[in-house]
Structure 1
Amino acid sequence: MSSVASAIAAGWDSYGRIVATLIRVTGDWTLAEDCAQEAMAAALERWPRDGVPDNPGGWLLTVARNRAVDVLRRAAVENRKLQEVAMLWNADPPPPGPEIEDDRLRLIFTCCHPALALEARVALTLRTIGGVPTADIARAFLVTESAMTRRITRAKSKIADARIPYRVPTGEALAERLPGVLAVLYLLFTRGYDADGEPAFADEAIRLTRLLAALMPGESEVASLLALCLLQHSRRRARRDANGDLVTLDRQDRSKWDRAAIAEGLEILLRTPVQGPYALQARIAACHAAGDDTDWLSIAGWYDELVRIQPSPVVALNRAVAHGYAFGPAEGLALLAAARSGGALDGYPAAIAVEADLTLRSGDAFRAAELFRAAAAEAPSEVERRALLTRAAEAVTGGPGAGPRR
């Protein structure tokens, strides 16, 4: 990568900082985003021609600041606000300090406010903090660009109309709000990690979680979420074959796993206490990533703890898988039946696929094939449908068999 390209890529790390600070000063979300975008566009135009400045981040801050001043002056806003913006940075801005770092943290908590719908939080986080184009966000949510533009605009309007405070909560309020922020970041990650997801979204989720971990170093669940995403994403290059089809965990070429990401995730867990659901999920991911074989006994134990503190049908389903591999398919089928007893998993393709896998391992290949085909009929994506139909064919032909679909 050339020095210009490297500098521009690094400059995107300043994007959220520029947006956050301009929002604090002007209170105008659209203005802040426009100015940050124009600063990046100016860098793309000028740096290849004039060379990379000594302080690329400072250069971007200055350009964005000057653009904000011009817009505010033309709009004839009240003078005090204009002076506040004009004095924000000198010609050679200082490196980010605590106040600017706090701006980014404020922005994350504002974008993820519980007054907004969950998908609106994810979209606003992508657009405002990550600078992801609206068209890309729309594609991930399977809506038109104009529909996504309206959705993001409504979210910003709700923040303004409801006078949602631009701040990081403290005390009990922080404990109440942080899980919602982490849920947004993890949903963003899964949008990229899922079979038909946008890989760049997973990368962006990791970047934002890394930023949050740096800004909140004492929060174990933030560090645990970062470790979880790193450990899961480490397998991204091995999850598809040459035809683009899914490869189950037991068949993946582990030489393709990102060992640096695994090492970082494991190192984070060594210094992070087990204090919540993300910590438990990260340790489950570690049992898959560490070593050459999956430690199903440990995974079953972690799921026992996870279902105790975060009971949900999906967690119970995954616990059935773990126990099925640790203690045999009969145990897994018994736990699966219990998980389904409330009806929440009716028609859920993953639950049907789990039953198919456990049924196959218990020796009933033809019933398993029927179940795999039933799961394929309900699959949310074409790539998952093909994978399930392949499993159905293998069940009756004595193929390689089924592995855990993770």
Structure 2
Amino acid sequence: MKAIVSIARILVGVLFIFSGFIKLNDPVGFSYKLQEYFSEPVLDIPFLIPFALIIAIVIVIFELVLGIMLLIGYARKFTSWSMLVMIIFFTFLTFYSAYFNKVTDCGCFGDAIPLTPWESFYKDVILFILILIIFFNQKFINPIFSPKYHKWVIFISFIASFAFCYHVLMHLPVFDFRPYKVGNNIAEKMSVPEGAAEAVFAYEWKFSQNGEEKIIRNNGAYPQVEGEFIGVETTQVEEGYVPPIHDFVIESEEGDITGDILSEDKVLLIIAYNLRSTEREGYKAVKSLSEEANQKGYRVIGLTASGDQLQNALKKKYDLNFDFYQTDETALKTIVRSNPGILTLEKGTITQKKHWFDASDIEL
């Protein structure tokens, strides 16, 4: 049993540290996932949405430090109870998401390792069993350092976690696992390769024959049968290939201009997914950068999901010399974890991506 507990201790501790660090690298992204859980269609606790970022930071730092506490054998009773409570809650949450198909990705490992709802649930079940082994055999958890050093290890872990979190909030995630990372070509990530798997659907055709309902199942061809057609139900059996980028569209008053923008030699993108909540202190730097970009032959545009009224008000207040175009809010949140954020493109390839705080680091 001592050997089993030791193995469980290492697996759980490492997993908590890894999961916590991945989310700590992108706390804003994790807060978006929490907002999805807090929304009315899921847990229906929308009053927590404004506090999602604070809750995200507390959860991921606590998760990471718990993993360290388990590995070094510090406060084993508190650690075991904390892990048990956390895994019970998250196992319920992932089961609820999977069973009712509420959230398509739990966010357990951020964008580094996307998991389906059922994969997340099965992962939590395994983790729950390992934590139960630890919980009922706490006597086998021996400290690996002298107890007098434990508090210092935990204190340093907390400070390092907060410092790293502050850095990524004031800049951008150190590790970018999203399809919009620097070096990727947006058009290529939107394309479907030749021979890629296509979605498979099952069709149930309903007809009325002599007052009785008849159902014919096939792969889509309209059945050649007698009777009055009632309706058809379509069910997706297998999911086809979905490109990494599938929701990036730039809309102007004239229509879709995505292709035009992605074919330009030099583009400066100012991304502000929501102009109501945008950090207005960043627009002094944005204005200066956009003016320099115009002088150097860049096409400068803003992307937002907000309407014309907010766009015009922002342009007037900060005397901005570029126009905003419409793009899906979720896509903009995925592109850059800053509001506003700044990108440079060369024929659709992302060459630079910065938080507005680092606007001066953009090289034109």
> Shorter-normalised TM-score: what interval?
under 0.3
Q: Greater share of helix residues, 1 or 2?
A: 1
TM-score, normalised by the number of residues in structure 2: 0.26
Give the strand-richer structure, 1 or 2.
Answer: 2
Q: What TM-score does the superposition give when structure 1 sets the normalisation length?
A: 0.24
Instruction: Say which structure, 1 or 2, has more relative contact order (CA 8 Å, 6+ apart).
Output: 2
